[in-house]
Structure 1
Amino acid sequence: MSLQLAPTARYRKDYKPPSFNILSVDLQFYLHDTNTRVVNTMQIERQVEGADLVLDGEKFELVSVVLNDTPLVAGQDYQWSETALTIYNAPEQFSLTIENKINPSANTALEGLYKSAGVFCSQCEAEGFRFITYFLDRPDVLAVYTTTIYAPDNGEYPYLLSNGNKLAEGKTENGLHWAKWHDPFPKPCYLFALVAGNFDCLEDSFTTAEGRLVQLQLFVDKGNLSQAGFAMASLKNSMAWDEKRFGLSYDLDIYMIVAVDFFNMGAMENKGLNVFNAKYVLADPASATDQDFINVEAVIGHEYFHNWTGNRVTCRDWFQLSLKEGLTVFREQEFSADMGMRAVNRIQDVRIIRTHQFEEDAGPTAHAIRPDKVVEMNNFYTVTIYNKGAEVVRMLHTLLGEEQFQAGIQEYISQQDGKAATCEDFVQAMEKVSGKELIQFRRWYSQPGTPEISISSCFKRRNKTFSITIAQASDKPSNAPFHIPIKVEFITASGESIHPPELAENGLIELTEPIQTFDFTGFNEAPVVAPLANFSAPVKLTDHRESSELITITRYATDPFLRWDAVQQLYVQALKDAIEQNAEVALPSALIEALQAALLDNHADPAMTALLLQTPSEEGLATEFHSIPVEGIERVVTELHALLSRALHDELIAAWQRTSAQYVASDIAGRMLSNTCINFLSSRHNSEQVAQAISQQFAAKQSMTLVFGALQAAVHNEHPLAKELLARFESDWCQAPLVMDKWLAVQATTRSAHTLERVQLLMAHPAFNWGNPNRIYALLASFSHNFSQLHRADGAGYRLLIAAIKRLNTANPQVASRLLSPLLKWQRLDTTRQALLRELLTELRAMPNLAPDLFEKIEQSFAD
């Protein structure tokens, strides 16, 4: 038996510019289900003397190689392997034509060119273009593309789409029709796109600030046109917002979005032709929740904003991925905040950082936002690269202010337009326009981990001075001190906000040393310090403040995040105390009173009230422990939910009656509170009033938000109505796959002792499909985040997930890798669970042909 070779790591320090550059590429595709022919003609020039031309290419059949009209001879003029084509003795400038054949129908990994559900579709980021044809598959090779697509003229593929502007279309004498596209802007091959199929098309237009009339086309599966209107409106809002906020306008004559159901990612920003997972396009009130609408708007915006921050300016290498993704997530977050509820959006962003990104920082796959090493590029698409990357950009915005930050963006784009840039280029642009030295700030790009800060204070009544001392530490001992922007509020016990003259207008303190003291004057009494307003830095605050201080912040802080955060800290303190003392969960009476008052306040923001009532999840609470007490976490989270259900029952009923009486499309905040209330109330199984409330809300057919909120509350609280509502929901929506994803997910996330067995049954249900990532994410990825059931003491949760990963190892390794991530914290579990997971991961590691995506993560978990 042959020994399987371990995949090879790549290092950022080893970057070298390409030995050749591809100036232009002319692609011809002759589409066929199993035998698509690709003719690739490249104009190439040498960059380095003496080097052979080595092109990337995998998993297709090579037909011919022609250099300057001369056919090349295998073994003499070129050599090929499973992963590369090497051309010997290439001249300084030349034309190279390669013909090859691929099988799109066999491409279950959905990377490269594939055919699913009757549609030809491509996905090339990060390194998928090498599955289409031989090429220099790296982001710093930018070429001008012309693409001609031929397909049978039989009505199956009326739309033949690619990047750029359409030059021509027509029919051939042998029964084919064709379309020719040209993208005038040089781009890396990961931004190439091809789609062919039969769709419904929603058309509109947008006139840019420069007067360019842009044709807008949104393609969806037949019969889904009525659900495309919100996505189109979101696109137009994105285009207008980017002009107003960032001064950036669209640059082609057409902008297209295609929604497909078989797609590994959320969406892809291919130049002029965005390919979307249908779940981030299709939305109407009857079939999509408010959160679905918010997600559609955010992802539409994200991919559009990439036109400048990702496409016109791209990455030099994949280690710079956060250059485009972190910046574009920040832009997306600002767009969503300007379009919706800024405070709510910010808190939702923070929840992702604290629950998922901090956990990633604490685990074996921890990496900086600009990593130094990688085995499999697809593993780079992490919450660290995206969400922490956005927080780093946000810190720059905080340090520089809006005006200087925008000037920095303009400097960055003007200097790097049409180029492949680095994170250093971005920071240098910010330094140049602001005059602010950011040498220490660069550590956010190179150092992994989550900084931890602690705060102590001293009040001197005689001279009315108040001092705070802030210390920073790191969970990674080798890290040097970070440059941390900390926004603070000072609040008196009576609720007065104090702004001392020494404090910057925006409340900003800049922590640069391991420990620093800041002095302030004008205080008659010691105030309560409320740090990290608007979550001004992705750090942990480790000091244990008194409950009275947190209650003061909850009542009086002007920053909404600070109020929410204070309540979260009170919850976490109560939960941790209950675990450590093996006692029942208890909350301060003042917190209960504050929550009661918020529920009864007709003038309070319902969305903020709902967020104050959102208790820590099991998964979120686990991030508070180095050694994770699984049973303890399950117990206290259940107890806290029951405690609040009892203590707030009357107020929850009153708030639910106030917010659930009538559906109004714009009342997202009201529905947030309604769903929060019904979730708590559903734990009261013997109340006829609660049963009626659940039934009434479930009957709100005009609003999926309310319907699904009632279903989720009943199922997650194991209310007697749950079984009936699940059956009715299935009957109503069995023909709508995206809605049935919610039905699968709500059952997979239930904390019932029978959930695992239910998931096993659902894997055989018609609504589930092993070939469709959306179905796998809905059922199995949802289960992987069901903390107590994944970590069942008998190991059944681990075995279920590992079996799914083995099945997907070769079929779709990207999806398999995502399912693996929640198992990588195994060394923080108790010895019994550690032994179970070590055995299963060792068995997985020994699989023949283990995907590099999985190999890299398993090796990291063992090395930690």
Structure 2
Amino acid sequence: MRTEQAPKTIYLKEYQAPDFAIEAFHLHFDLHEHNTQVTATAQYSRTNNTQNDLVLNGELLKLISVSVNGQLLEASQYTVDEETLSISNLPAQFELTIVTQIDPKNNKALEGLYQSSGNFCTQCEAQGFRKITYYLDRPDVMTVFTTRLEADQAKYPVLLSNGNLVEQGELGNGRHFAVWHDPFRKPSYLFALVAGNLQHVKDSFTTSSGRNVDLYIYTEAHNIDKCGHAMASLKRAMKWDEERFGLEYDLDIYMIVAVDDFNMGAMENKGLNVFNSKLVFASPETATDVDYLDIEAVIGHEYFHNWTGNRVTCRDWFQLSLKEGLTVFRDQEFTADLHSRPVKRIEDVRGLRTFQFTEDASPMAHPIRPASYMEINNFYTMTVYEKGAEVVRMYLTLLGREGFRKGMDLYFKRHDGQAVTTEDFLAAMADANDVDLSQFQRWYDQAGTPVIEASMDYDPKAKTCTLTFKQSCPPTPETEHKQPYLIPLEIGLLDSQGRDLPLQLVGEDKAVGTTRVLRFTEAEQSFTFVNIAEKPLPSLLRNFSAPVKLSYPYSGEELAFLMQHDSDAFNRWDAGQRLAMQTFKELLEAKHHGLPFGLEHYMVHAFQTLLIDPALDDAFKAEALALPSETDIAEAVRPSDPQAIHEVREFVLTHLAKALRLDLEQVYSERNTLTSYEIDSQSVGRRSLKNIALSYLGRIQDEGIVALVDEQYRHANNMTDTLAALSVLNHIEGEERELAIEDFYARWKQNNLVLDKWFALQATSSLPDTLKRVEALLNHEKFDIRNPNKVRALIGAFAMRNPLHFHAFDGTGYEFLTRRVLELNTFNPQIASRMVRPLMNWRHYEPVRSGLMRAQLERIQNTPNLSSDVSEIVTKSLV
């Protein structure tokens, strides 16, 4: 735990290259639960002519000895404090051996080397390696690792580390050893070690060049039957990366280990990925469709890191999006190529708008390459990952698929085996395509969500249509005034029949397609199209071609028209979202003035037309019927009143349910057939539409509907349908709900991952006693606050996914969260800092709630021994 002194701010502008390089690094682990001894031997050399001290990072270590070139140093020959080991008067080249001792069993922060379910495991990104040994723990120090593990053979029969296995054997006294060698240079954050009593499933993959790669997934014996989907996903990812980007795996073995106690989703350690178990295990009885797709995506994500993150890594942590944003983009494309591209795009943008746009509007707003940080763990954010992916996607939109591939090829050719910057990536894209992308750098340097105001002028006499765009970006902590971005705007024009019009700009000889990508580079810029025979309706920002907020004065009828006719699937969905948001705003205004509620007929008709359209696939319909969340509305309407938002959203959903009841019942009935569970796109789409129809019908809450929901719960043959029915019952007060919740627990009490769903369901209920239930569940025998998955399932779900009760007018939700944050702060600051974030945007709410949220932030700030992770979030929130 850090002390009370303010955490130090690290600045990008102060970056300096390391004074030392490490030519080779040997690690020897003598593994014991409480007294693991680590012997680290490194070949160092100076990188410059300075005589600076060697300053190594190290935390929570017991130093046993330090030797230089085989000579043991006296304590007077080095300096040790809480965070560093410094050695002076070193030669230009030398061998340094450091022996340390650590206590994995009591490492509850889950950083460095720790134990999970009795097995040894590591997590070194971002700065966990310094809790294993003293080292230059920074991503631009890359070396070749050789690791020897020794452990009790009965307790820990499996010994794993990075690279290829080169030696193993018995030592006597019941102990054994394994030696692993990774031939590829890597930084310390990619180091991994796993030792335990694990079983495995094995498969193999033949690369495009004909090499055989052994594939392993390790887990505890009782979960071995749930790894098939993860293995199949890995093989699909390996094949896809070869076909799409020409990237082949480079080791003889690829291993995945699933652990229950993990702060993150997964970690891409070279050749030895460590995964949160929830992103590996799947069976129809225990995992939903979303779980299956998430597992496939994250398996792909960590595999894709082998090139975008491992072979080419970050020079410093400010460049984090260089690997994470790029790799998120790659896993998004992987899923889109395997399943429904339009639906995947909708899902990604929905998440971006709900969470990343909210982050951009918070005190923690930062560019995808931040200029400073206090605690790097706080910058594993939606901005770095999801907005970072959108920035990469804009290269694809601007350069085209072939141009983007040329840029990627040049990037790897130039930088394989290096630690690089976002400028290096931009330069590769620009140079490979011989284009000027210098203005694009602003996406890396400026925070916030750009706002585009669009207008249209049609001249019937000249038959010209002029689109005018104005861009701006709200002030954010790093700067008040923003320079114009290079924004790719993908647009189309529709005639009165809903057909796409040919697009010919002034000065062009002929029309070039019906969808165009406009390069919007000025604060205000106009584009004029010719030969437009009638006043068109613009379809703007097709496929969400840039992470911006776009404003155009569409009427409700125009949005309904786009919902029914736009050829761009994303914009067809988005028109429905805009129409719903427009309706929510009107109803909130009516509520404020005490006026009655009502829905326009064209809105009901538009949703009905979409629901029964036989040309649309089920997955798209399901997405289109999912209206903006209460969190989305709160960000669009300020100051926010969560109670009022909940009321108007429920009114709209209930009104639509009643108006479309016959259609919804028919859609449900046609798709409610008991067939064998399949995870193909058609089957997933069918279940998605069936279950969203059920969620609408559930709002009617008459006896027949409740019986229908209860019947699905009782007879479902897969977790997707079971959980969908239980989710509807979860908001209906009555015996059916209580019996179903008890039954679900009785069925699944031995499965921790399924119980996480049970905890989260109760935490997100809209019923009045929800907070009381959540507090009681903290003492449940299956809840463990030291397990990050349980914390996210119960505390996180309540604070982040239940705005109605979290924002209770009396402040009880805020007080509940504060107590949990302070408890987590004492042993797992990373998770504590994630939990405190729902309090950040206190300024967005009406005065009473705003004041109560601020008071809790001040309470946290004034707590002694606050970790730097939590302190940074709270301090920036209160500035």
Q: Same fold (TM over 0.5)?
A: yes
The number of equivalent residue pairs is 859
Q: 1:818 aligns with which of 834, 845, 849?
A: 834
Partner of 1:485: 488
Q: 2:869 aligns with which of 834, 843, 853?
A: 853
Q: Which has the larger displacement, 312-321 or 493-502?
A: 493-502
Superposed CA RMSD:
1.3
What pairs with 1:350-429 in structure 2 (closer than 5 Å)?
Answer: 350-429=349-428
Q: Which has the larger displacement, 548-557 or 208-217?
A: 548-557
Partner of 1:51: 52
Counterpart Cα distance in 2 of 1:423 and 1:10: 18
Partner of 1:794: 810
Partner of 1:827: 843
3-state SS of the aligned residue for 2:222?
A: coil
Are the aligned partners of 2:861 and 2:871 in contact in 1 as well (CA < 8 Å)? yes
3-state SS of the aligned residue for 1:497?
A: coil
Are the aligned partners of 1:62 and 1:101 in contact in 2 as well (CA < 8 Å)? yes
TM-score, normalised with respect to structure 1: 0.98
What pairs with 1:491-530 in structure 2 (closer than 5 Å)?
Answer: 491-502=494-505, 505=513, 506-530=515-539
Q: 1:764 aligns with which of 752, 756, 779?
A: 779
Are the aligned partners of 2:110 and 2:262 in contact in 1 as well (CA < 8 Å)? yes
Are the aligned partners of 2:857 and 2:878 in contact in 1 as well (CA < 8 Å)? no
Partner of 2:508: none
What pairs with 1:155-166 in structure 2 (closer than 5 Å)?
Answer: 156-166=155-165
Unmatched runs of 5 consecutive residues or more in structure 2:
506-510
Partner of 1:24: 24
Question: Does residue 231 of structure 2 align to residue 240 of structure 1?
Answer: no
Deviation at 1:719, TM superposition (A): 5.9
Counterpart Cα distance in 1 of 2:270 and 2:145: 11
Partner of 1:265: 264
Counterpart Cα distance in 1 of 2:544 and 2:31: 51
Deviation at 1:613, TM superposition (A): 1.0
Are the aligned partners of 2:3 and 2:866 in contact in 1 as well (CA < 8 Å)? no
Deviation at 1:541, TM superposition (A): 1.2
Partner of 2:794: 779
Are the aligned partners of 2:261 and 2:787 in contact in 1 as well (CA < 8 Å)? yes
Partner of 1:276: 275
Are the aligned partners of 1:685 and 1:720 in contact in 2 as well (CA < 8 Å)? no
Are the aligned partners of 1:493 and 1:552 in contact in 2 as well (CA < 8 Å)? no
CA offsets, 1:351-409, max 9 Å, x none? 11111111111110000000001000100100000000000000010000000100100
Deviation at 1:585, TM superposition (A): 4.5
Q: 1:533 aligns with which of 542, 564, 586?
A: 542
User: Which amino acid in 1 is paired with 2:163?
Assistant: G
Partner of 1:102: 102
Partner of 2:224: 225
Deviation at 1:603, TM superposition (A): 4.3
Counterpart Cα distance in 2 of 1:313 and 1:19: 21
Say if 1:717 and 1:400 are closer, same or farther in 2 by CA, change over 3 A. Answer: farther
Question: Does residue 623 of structure 2 align to residue 611 of structure 1?
Answer: yes
Counterpart Cα distance in 2 of 1:695 and 1:842: 45
Question: Does residue 563 of structure 2 align to residue 564 of structure 1?
Answer: no
Counterpart Cα distance in 1 of 2:494 and 2:398: 23
Question: Does residue 763 of structure 2 align to residue 748 of structure 1?
Answer: yes
Counterpart Cα distance in 2 of 1:463 and 1:523: 9
Counterpart Cα distance in 2 of 1:340 and 1:37: 48
Partner of 2:648: 636
Deviation at 1:661, TM superposition (A): 1.6
Counterpart Cα distance in 1 of 2:790 and 2:533: 61
Deviation at 1:842, TM superposition (A): 1.3
Are the aligned partners of 1:486 and 1:511 in contact in 2 as well (CA < 8 Å)? yes
What pairs with 1:208-219 in structure 2 (closer than 5 Å)?
Answer: 208-219=207-218
Are the aligned partners of 2:3 and 2:865 in contact in 1 as well (CA < 8 Å)? no
User: Which amino acid in 2 is paired with 1:113?
Assistant: L
Counterpart Cα distance in 1 of 2:732 and 2:365: 35
Partner of 2:462: 463
Are the aligned partners of 1:453 and 1:541 in contact in 2 as well (CA < 8 Å)? yes
Deviation at 1:701, TM superposition (A): 4.1
Counterpart Cα distance in 1 of 2:485 and 2:735: 53
Say if 1:512 and 1:719 are closer, same or farther in 2 by CA, change over 3 A. Answer: farther
Counterpart Cα distance in 1 of 2:54 and 2:530: 68
Counterpart Cα distance in 2 of 1:340 and 1:3: 49
Question: Does residue 334 of structure 2 align to residue 335 of structure 1?
Answer: yes
Deviation at 1:720, TM superposition (A): 4.8
User: Which amino acid in 2 is paired with 1:621?
Assistant: I
3-state SS of the aligned residue for 1:604?
A: coil
3-state SS of the aligned residue for 1:172?
A: strand
Unmatched runs of 5 consecutive residues or more in structure 1:
none
3-state SS of the aligned residue for 1:182?
A: strand
3-state SS of the aligned residue for 2:789?
A: helix
User: Which amino acid in 1 is paired with 2:108?
Assistant: T
Say if 1:310 and 1:69 are closer, same or farther in 2 by CA, change over 3 A. Answer: same
Counterpart Cα distance in 2 of 1:393 and 1:507: 19
Question: Does residue 284 of structure 2 align to residue 285 of structure 1?
Answer: yes
CA offsets, 1:784-821, max 9 Å, x none? 11111111111110011110000010211111111111
Are the aligned partners of 1:683 and 1:719 in contact in 2 as well (CA < 8 Å)? no
User: Which amino acid in 2 is paired with 1:727?
Assistant: E
Counterpart Cα distance in 2 of 1:733 and 1:106: 29
CA offsets, 1:206-239, max 9 Å, x none? 0101111000000122111111000000000000
Partner of 2:294: 295
User: Which amino acid in 2 is paired with 1:564?
Assistant: W
Are the aligned partners of 1:574 and 1:585 in contact in 2 as well (CA < 8 Å)? no
TM-score, normalised with respect to structure 2: 0.96
Deviation at 1:440, TM superposition (A): 0.9
Deviation at 1:698, TM superposition (A): 1.2
Same amino acid, percent of matched pairs? 45
Counterpart Cα distance in 2 of 1:608 and 1:586: 27
Counterpart Cα distance in 2 of 1:496 and 1:682: 37
Say if 1:769 and 1:3 are closer, same or farther in 2 by CA, change over 3 A. Answer: closer
Question: Does residue 802 of structure 2 align to residue 803 of structure 1?
Answer: no
Question: Does residue 699 of structure 2 align to residue 683 of structure 1?
Answer: yes
Partner of 2:562: 553
Q: 2:742 aligns with which of 721, 724, 727?
A: 727
Q: Which has the larger displacement, 173-182 or 399-408?
A: 173-182
Q: Which has the larger displacement, 458-467 or 118-127?
A: 458-467
Q: Which has the larger displacement, 602-611 or 189-198?
A: 602-611
Say if 1:588 and 1:509 are closer, same or farther in 2 by CA, change over 3 A. Answer: farther
3-state SS of the aligned residue for 1:401?
A: helix
Partner of 1:70: 71
Are the aligned partners of 1:700 and 1:706 in contact in 2 as well (CA < 8 Å)? no
Are the aligned partners of 2:324 and 2:388 in contact in 1 as well (CA < 8 Å)? yes
